[in-house]
Amino acid sequence: MNHGSALIAGLLAVVLPYGFFEAGAAGETAPFKSGGTIVGKVRVEGHFDRPPPLKVYKNREFCGAQVPNESLLITRDGGVQNVVITARGSRHEGMKNQAKELVLDNRNCAFVPRVQAGLIGSEVLLLNGDPILHNVHARLGTETLFNVGLPKWRRVKKRLAREGIITIDCDVLHTWMRAYIVVTPSPHFAVTDKKGEFVIGNVPPATYEIEAWHETLGTRPFRVTVDAGSTARVDFSYRLSHK
């Protein structure tokens, strides 16, 4: 995407009487008897330039001369992958957050997955499936949370104790490697899949403040109301235009 592009967000939110379908990676909550579901798709509208491949400067014999640039993954119909959707609103008495263990692997000279989300208090398992040395340097803003060396097949667990967007790099001259973990106190979140779609299930009836975050396109807030046993559909668009 050119740096001269202006980002303007548009959205549509309506409640529809249809059932659950699978899409995106979502958080887990304890079963809620009369919960609803938030579903939707994130798109890009307007002209955009796909990011060029990234050059490799170290371990070329294994990684190759260049790797794909995954900072902006868009389908032919404009669906955007790796958008984190978080819903915040009413906290229903008796609900229990289920902290799920996350996994961050080093695979083919890339972090996998590139983008994920988890609850405060979750643990992340750090892996290295490559036959070369990697490290995982996690920062919250400018503060280092942990910096772990990962020789082949080493396994390390780290607890995610604070809210925010964690940026992860590999400091052993693997300058192209990058990942993100969005840590949230809300159990209602999802990451858009390869089609740009997401599902947040088991949501107590309430009006929610929704935040959509993407590493390149930025953050967009909006609002949606969820009724008991119903599905609220939110189709959200980032509109790109050249100045």
Domain regions of the chain by residue span: 1-58+66-94+187-243, 96-186
Nearest alpha-carbon partner for 120 in 214, 187, 179 = 187
Nearest alpha-carbon partner for 26 in 231, 193, 189, 208 = 189
Identify whether the C-beta of residue 221 lies closer than 8 Å to the C-beta of residue 87.
Answer: no
Predicted local distance difference test score (pLDDT) of residue 99: 77
Instruction: Report the CATH fold assignment for 1-58+66-94+187-243.
Output: Immunoglobulin-like (2.60.40)
What is the pairing mode between strands 115-119 and 174-184?
parallel
Distances (CA, A) of 74 to 24, 45, 177, 223: 15, 11, 19, 24
Nearest alpha-carbon partner for 186 in 57, 49, 27 = 27
Predicted local distance difference test score (pLDDT) of residue 33: 66
Identity of the amino acid at 213: W
CATH number of the domain at 96-186, out of 3.40.630.30, 3.40.50.720, 2.60.40.420, 2.60.120.560? 2.60.40.420
Per-residue pLDDT tens digits for 159-198:
999 999 999 999 999 999 999 999 999 999 999 999 999 9
Q: Map tokens 């490697």 to a residue.
A: 177
1-58+66-94+187-243 with 96-186: one CATH topology? Answer: yes
Spell out, as residue ranges, where the chain has pLDDT lower than 50.
Answer: 1-23, 92-95, 243
Predicted local distance difference test score (pLDDT) of residue 47: 84
